[in-house]
Amino acid sequence: MEEKNKGLGFRELSDRLPELTQSRFRHSAITDTDVFKQILLEKKPKKVVEIGTFCGISTLVLASIADFVWTFDVEKREVVYDNWKIFDLTNKIRYTILPNRKSINKEINKINADFCFIDAIHDYPNVKADFNMCKKFKRILFHDAAFPGVNKFLKEINAEIINTDFAYWEK
């Protein structure tokens, strides 16, 4: 496991997860530039809520830096457990699958976190709903900032557009 707070980056992940370079990860928050990791190291989250788990790769980076991660999705993927076991981070992650946003919101209301990472459905109504669910955490990092609906919403809330991949909002 990586030294606490050093964080996992693309090299550490791709060395142990060769499939990371396959096409299904092409739109992942994890790239060889390690921007995601660098943002997290700068923001220093301790307790994180993640909306949108997919294969759990971003979750690995979050858990390698933060103390704990709650990750939510509406579709279960068994591969996440295998990926997390490789890096011995399963004890820092709670993976919850719920049928809809209303159920997720109910669970999120029970959580005391200081940071949220939103990487779910990339359109205006969904990113807005995810934001409204998570704004209580006061610090939100968004993935896929260049998607038209996402970008429109980010401008409305005056989020800092970091690059085409990421934007950051803080209350």
What are the pLDDT digits (tens) for 111-123?
999 999 999 999 9
CATH number of the domain at 81, please. 3.40.50.150
| Number of Cβ within a 10 Å radius of residue 44 | 12
Confidence of residue 164 (pLDDT cuts 50, 70, 90): very high
Number of domains comprising the chain: 1
Whether 36 maps to a domain, the answer reads yes
What are the pLDDT digits (tens) for 14-24?
888 877 666 55
Residue 68 CB contacts under 8 Å (≥ 6 apart), including other chains: 46, 47, 48, 92, 93, 94
Residue type, 112: N
What percent of the chain shows pLDDT beyond 70? 92
What are the pLDDT digits (tens) for 71-82?
999 999 888 888
Whether 3 maps to a domain, the answer reads no
Token readout for 125 is 């109504």
Whether 5 maps to a domain, the answer reads no
The parent domain of residue 69 ranges over 10-170
